[in-house]
Amino acid sequence: MDDLALSVRIARPEDAADLARIYIESWQDTYAGAISHSLLGAMSHKNHTARWQATIKGPGTVLVAEDSHHGLIGLTSLGAARDAGLGFEGEVYTLYVDPAFLGRGTGRALLAGAFDSFKDRKLRSCLIWAHARNNACFFYEAMGGRRVATRTTRLMGELTNEIGFGWRHLATKKKRNLSS
């Protein structure tokens, strides 16, 4: 396996089709067996491209992980925390890595970029919700997240248990340039 030459940057509208591909492939890889096959198979590249275009233009921030040889291989979206009662200022709404690049530092780079973005906005804490059966739960704990809450929500129409991971004090190892 070759080393990745990763950079993290703010997403641009022309990235939306790649983000839709990463999102759909990640869902189909991660949630096979947890979400019905028919629902996963019905995910539309066209609809998700439009959704990512709107998200990129929206009030939050979308960051992408890009490799100089492979192009876009990961994404994260973030903004203000939506669960004010839990006491966190920022929230990572999504964090997905192309399944072909899992375990190679992309998730760590995206999470560090998200933390830097929060710190640039003077936000000192962060929350991430994860499907309780998602292997990312182990990743978030390894990255210092603490289990702070649980909830049941609807995911693609199905009742789903989620775990909230929180970082009360954000820390990053080095400053990254998140230029657009």
Domain contains 126: yes
Predicted model pTM: 0.90
Domain contains 177: no
User: Could you read off the pLDDT of 45-104 as tens digits, one per residue?
Assistant: 999 999 999 999 999 899 999 999 999 999 999 999 998 899 999 999 999 999 999 999
Burial of 20 (0-12, 13-18, 19+ CB in 10 A): buried
Domain contains 172: no
Number of folded domains that form the chain: 1
Longest dimension (CA), the chain: 44
Tokens of 10: 């703010």
Domain contains 94: yes
Q: Cα-atom radius of gyration of the chain, to the nearest Å?
A: 16
The whole domain housing 84 covers 6-167
Domain contains 154: yes
Q: What is the mean pLDDT of the chain?
A: 90
Domain contains 45: yes
Residue 1 has pLDDT above 70, yes or no: no
CA dist 155 and 108 (Å) reads 25
Domain contains 1: no
CATH number at residue 87: 3.40.630.30
User: Could you read off the pLDDT of 106-143 as tens digits, one per residue?
Assistant: 999 999 999 999 999 999 999 999 999 888 999 999 99
* pLDDT at res. 45: 95
**SS3 assignment, position 97:** strand
Domain contains 176: no
